Amino acid sequence: MLQEKALLSGEPNIRIVVTPREGTPAQRLALFYPYVLPALMTPLTAKEMSTGTYTPPPQPRIAFSGTLDQAQDFFQREQLYMCGIPMTQWTDGAPVIIPTAQKVAWMLTGTSHAPTELVGPITMTNKIATKATAMQPMGWTATVEKVAVNAVMAGCKPEHLPAVLAEALSGVGTGTTTMWSQWQVVSGPFALNTGMNYDIGPWDGQNIANMCIGRAYELMAINLGGAQVGTNRMNSLGSPFNHGACLAENGPNIPAGWVGMNVDLGFKSTDSVIAVFNTAGGFAGDHFPPSSYRAFQSDGTGGIATRLGISGSPPPGTKYNWLNYFVPPYAPGHGLWNWNMDSFALMMVPEMAQDLVLAGFPTKLSVSQWLYNQSFMTIGDLRKMGWWDFDTNGGNNNEPTSGKPYNSLPDTYMTPAQTSGPNGDLVVVVGGAEEVAYFITSHGTTRQGAYQIDPWY
């Protein structure tokens, strides 16, 4: 796997030294001298100095012959062993729809694109990709037909295929050593036209579009990207998102003054967009007991009001700012910034979004700006964060407000824990019924990875 990564980076014969991550610092350091230092100090050979861009070989078109039962047994058979544990090679472990030639042909009726066409960036004007997207982690390329095969396996219908083709543009990258996974949100007419669930329980299942579009992403990561647990997907626990549903924005109930996710990401309100989020570090929020939240907003009583030091009803026509529940000094530790120092997606039900409007947040950006302002803390406190060393390079990176290295500033200097700034966040209105709000953190801005669905019809 390391050699393949070297090939993809254009260094086909890079010198590789593997050292264990286990053991005490002294034990790990003892391995450094006999292995790493000689590798660094010994002159490179002519072969090691050679360069060149590696192009992954095209993946063959595989056709399986046999009865339907034999095909089902083939897909569900344990074909790999990782760390001595049997694993499936072509599926996520759950039963799939067998992609017969007839089923794939049926799926392809959902798009006007040719089966042999490469999947890559396109627009409404340029509907043919000039460059194929590299599917991660192996850098393979995919055709429309191969995406359709995975859509069949996931249980999709032809009307779902444009969204699956659009989400394939992300490269379906889920291979890593951390809890790094992807989840998707659809915004625009596509969600309504295909009957996606944007109201109560959009992550809970039972909606074909939500579940199958989300599952197609995971199957594409395995079959088109080459992701395999124990080889290039090495997280200790894995991620629940890799088996989750695709959410749909609750477009009909976005508060006045707030824009849809599609507009927020630079598209038109009439455009259908699927956004793919990288999740790493944290997933937090609260499913507030209705009685507690409503008491807090109506007459300032109950647990939430007590925690925030509020007493009495808000002024007529206003609401209390419930975001205070998640930020210092009320939140334990450092609240949202316990997990990492980058951006996050904030998801909330329409009622809580409307309450924020009445609490003085006329736009989504005003929510993000307020949260960014709450992230300021001393560098001394920031050093206590679990991601400090990783996100600041041990304090050697430049602090964003001063332009100077963190380590050159006093511990009392106030700095934003959210280093991406307010423009990296994304606020999404989704779901319904009871009061729920979730923050899902991301390494890097959450505003990356939005793909228009419409060109794939």
Read off the pLDDT of residues 68-80 as tens digits, 9 standing for 90 and up. Answer: 888 888 887 777 7
Q: Are residues 299 and 268 in the same domain?
A: no
**pLDDT of res. 148:** 98
Question: Residue 207 pLDDT more than 70?
Answer: yes
Question: Residue 283 pLDDT more than 70?
Answer: no
Number of domains the chain is built from? 3
Nearest CA to 254 out of 401, 428, 385 is that of 428
**pLDDT of res. 387:** 75
Q: Are residues 88 and 11 in the same domain?
A: no
Question: Residue 417 pLDDT more than 90?
Answer: no
**pLDDT of res. 54:** 64
**pLDDT of res. 197:** 93
Question: Residue 93 pLDDT more than 70?
Answer: yes
Cβ–Cβ < 8 Å for 281, 441: yes
Q: Is residue 77 part of a domain?
A: yes
Q: If pLDDT is split at 50, 70 and 90, which confidence band does 435 have?
A: confident
Give the Cα separation of 330 and 256 in Å (integer).
30
pTM score, two decimals?
0.84
Q: If pLDDT is split at 50, 70 and 90, which confidence band does 86 have?
A: confident
Which of 193-202, 264-273, 425-434, 440-449 bottoms out in mean pLDDT, i.e. has the lowest? Answer: 440-449
Q: Are residues 308 and 269 in the same domain?
A: no
**pLDDT of res. 178:** 44
Q: Supply the DSSP string of 144-208, one letter for each residue.
A: HHHHHHHHHHHT--GGGHHHHHHHHTTT----SSSS-EEEEEEESHHHHHTT---SS-TTSS--H
Question: 111 in helix, strand or coil?
Answer: coil
Mean pLDDT calculated for residue range 235-257:
80
Give the Cα separation of 189 and 47 in Å (integer).
55
Q: Are residues 36 and 170 in the same domain?
A: no
Which of 11-20, 254-263, 278-287, 307-316 bottoms out in mean pLDDT, i.e. has the lowest? Answer: 278-287
Which of 41-45, 141-145, 175-179, 195-199 bottoms out in mean pLDDT, i.e. has the lowest? Answer: 175-179
Q: If pLDDT is split at 50, 70 and 90, which confidence band does 350 have?
A: very high
Q: Is residue 381 part of a domain?
A: no
Residue 130 CB burial class (10 angstroms; 0-12, 13-18, ≥19): exposed
**pLDDT of res. 82:** 65
Q: Are residues 90 and 179 in the same domain?
A: yes
Question: Residue 62 pLDDT more than 90?
Answer: no
Q: Are residues 43 and 125 in the same domain?
A: no
Cβ–Cβ < 8 Å for 205, 291: no
Q: Is residue 393 part of a domain?
A: no
Q: If pLDDT is split at 50, 70 and 90, which confidence band does 66 have?
A: confident
Mean pLDDT calculated for residue range 181-192:
90
The token pair at 97 is 């729809």
Structure-model confidence comparison of residues 255 and 338, the more confident one: 255
- What is the 8-class DSSP label of residue 42? S
Q: Are residues 301 and 437 in the same domain?
A: yes
Count of all residues that appear for the chain in the document: 457
Phi, psi (degrees; rounded to nearest 5) at 361: -120, 90
Nearest CA to 215 out of 166, 151, 280, 266 is that of 151
* Radius of gyration of the chain measured on its C-alpha atoms: 24
Nearest CA to 355 out of 308, 322, 325 is that of 322
Containing structural domain, residue 27: 2-49
Q: If pLDDT is split at 50, 70 and 90, which confidence band does 360 have?
A: very high
Nearest CA to 237 out of 229, 225, 227 is that of 229
Give the Cα separation of 382 and 409 in Å (integer).
12
Compute CA distances 438 → 54, 237, 281, 366, 393, whole Å. Answer: 41, 21, 14, 18, 28
Q: Are residues 159 and 243 in the same domain?
A: yes
Q: Is residue 390 part of a domain?
A: no
Mean pLDDT calculated for residue range 348-357:
95
Q: Are residues 155 and 256 in the same domain?
A: yes
Q: Is residue 88 part of a domain?
A: yes
Percentage with pLDDT > 70 across the chain: 84
Q: If pLDDT is split at 50, 70 and 90, which confidence band does 228 have?
A: confident
Question: Residue 12 pLDDT more than 60?
Answer: yes
Q: Is residue 400 part of a domain?
A: no
Q: Is residue 391 part of a domain?
A: no
Question: Residue 457 pLDDT more than 70?
Answer: yes
Q: If pLDDT is split at 50, 70 and 90, which confidence band does 454 have?
A: very high
The token pair at 115 is 């089966």
Mean pLDDT calculated for residue range 207-225:
92
Question: Residue 169 pLDDT more than 60?
Answer: yes
Q: Is residue 128 part of a domain?
A: yes
Q: Are residues 92 and 198 in the same domain?
A: yes
Q: If pLDDT is split at 50, 70 and 90, which confidence band does 61 have?
A: confident
Q: If pLDDT is split at 50, 70 and 90, which confidence band does 446 have?
A: low
Q: Are residues 120 and 233 in the same domain?
A: yes
Q: Are residues 325 and 339 in the same domain?
A: yes
